Amino acid sequence: MIDFTVLGYVAAFCTTCSFVPQVFHILKTGDTKSISLAMYSCFVFGVFLWLVYGIAMQDWPIIVANAITLMLASMILLLKVRDVARAKKAPPLSV
């Protein structure tokens, strides 16, 4: 018989860890050009709502996965927002 709580934790581990390479890549290269600000904004909000849902349901795999994913995805979003703000402040390139 399958222990569905363990299955939930394994699924949470896989989906949450998928963000780690992206965070390290951005921290190492500083490159966020290929990341969609709208997509990550929507995604972070969705993860936040999943976290609220997990807390309301007292579902620990959902709580743990979404708390960690929210932290990682928020880092990516904040770095993207920082780069967008910097690009708006930069003077236009003259030809």
Q: What is the pLDDT of residue 94?
A: 66
Tell me the pLDDT tens digit for each residue of 27-59.
899 899 989 999 999 999 999 999 999 999 999
Mean pLDDT along residues 66-92 = 91
Distance CA 54, CA 33 (A): 32
**pTM (whole model) above 0.85:** no
Q: What is the pLDDT of residue 6?
A: 87
52 lies in a domain?
Answer: yes
93 lies in a domain?
Answer: no
Domain range for residue 41?
A: 4-86
Tokens at 77, concatenated = 């979003």
> What percent of the chain is predicted at pLDDT more than 90?
56
Q: What is the CATH number of the domain that holds 16?
A: 1.20.1280.290
Distance CA 58, CA 31 (A): 37
35 lies in a domain?
Answer: yes
91 lies in a domain?
Answer: no
42 lies in a domain?
Answer: yes
94 lies in a domain?
Answer: no
66 lies in a domain?
Answer: yes
Residue with tokens 């999943």: 50
Q: How many domains does the chain have?
A: 1
Q: Which of 56-60, 62-66, 91-95 has the lowest mean pLDDT?
A: 91-95
Mutual angle of helices 60-89 and 37-57, in 10-degree steps = 160
Q: 47: closest CA among 72, 27, 30, 24?
A: 72
Distance CA 28, CA 48 (A): 26
What's the whole-number average pLDDT of the chain? 90
